[in-house]
Amino acid sequence: MNQLDIKKVAHAVTEEPIEIIITREPKGWVDELLVRLKIRSLKRSFFVKPPSLRMAYKITALFMDIQIHKRETVDFNDWTNEMINSNTRKMAEIVATYFHGSKSPVPDSLIDYVMDNMSMDELDYVTSLIKSQIDVVPFINSISSIRSLDLISPSLTEESLQNTGEIIAPGDLSEVQQSISGLV
């Protein structure tokens, strides 16, 4: 494991914000002059932390909108270009949503900034970071835990007990479950 990976793991465990820096090219001689005079910077920092449930939901919904094309052509480059053409805006929207980190709508200017200034390598790094921070295992474990407590489907438990020939009043379900667990 290299030093960068160790830092990412440490930041994820402590939930400290991770700084992502995007460097842009100067746009014209005026912009270059403003950079030299230190009025404008070519670097923009984004501090991101592990997403909330709402943010994970928004980002997952955006990931579901990515268009996957079957590779029907023989030429791999054509297929790659088609994937880039149909998904670049959506990928920029995902990254901008992650950077924005708020439930308010993501400004179009931030999406445009990501599209104009982020390289493919930076996109790869940020999407792998998003993937690592939106870990689905705890979410699935939460669903499993709730299911095991029968909080989601108490009617299924009542139906299964009714199929045994016993009729249970709605308020007496917990007493029956205790007596059944005592027999086992």
Q: Do both 117 and 156 map to the same domain?
A: no
Q: Do both 129 and 142 map to the same domain?
A: no
pLDDT-based confidence at 111, cuts 50/70/90? Answer: very high
Q: Of 103, 100, 98, whose CA–CA distance to 63 is shortest?
A: 98
pLDDT of amino acid 184: 47
pLDDT-based confidence at 16, cuts 50/70/90? Answer: confident
Handedness of CA 159, 161, 167, 170 (dihedral sign): negative
Centre a 10 Å sphere on the Cβ of residue 132 and count the other Cβ atoms it contains.
12
Does the structure show a pLDDT above 60 at 142?
A: yes
Q: Do both 84 and 167 map to the same domain?
A: no
Q: What is the pLDDT of residues 26-46, one digit of tens each?
A: 788 887 887 788 887 878 888
Q: By the 8 A CB rule, do 27 and 80 touch?
A: no
Q: Do both 146 and 70 map to the same domain?
A: no
Structure tokens at 98: 């992650």
Centre a 10 Å sphere on the Cβ of residue 173 and count the other Cβ atoms it contains.
15
Q: Do both 32 and 93 map to the same domain?
A: yes
Residue 157 lies in domain: 138-183
Alpha-helical runs (H) found in the chain: 3-14, 28-36, 53-64, 76-100, 108-117, 120-133, 136-148, 154-162, 173-183
Structure tokens at 2: 């290299």
**Whole-angstrom distance, CA of residue 83 vs CA of residue 115:** 15
Q: Do both 9 and 100 map to the same domain?
A: yes
Question: 3-state SS string over 89-126?
Answer: HHHHHHHHHHHHCCCCCCCHHHHHHHHHHCCHHHHHHH
Q: What is the mean pLDDT of residues 112-116?
A: 91
**Whole-angstrom distance, CA of residue 76 vs CA of residue 182:** 63
- Total of domains in the chain: 2
Q: Do both 102 and 162 map to the same domain?
A: no
Helix pair 108-117, 76-100: axis angle to 10 deg: 130
Q: Do both 53 and 96 map to the same domain?
A: yes
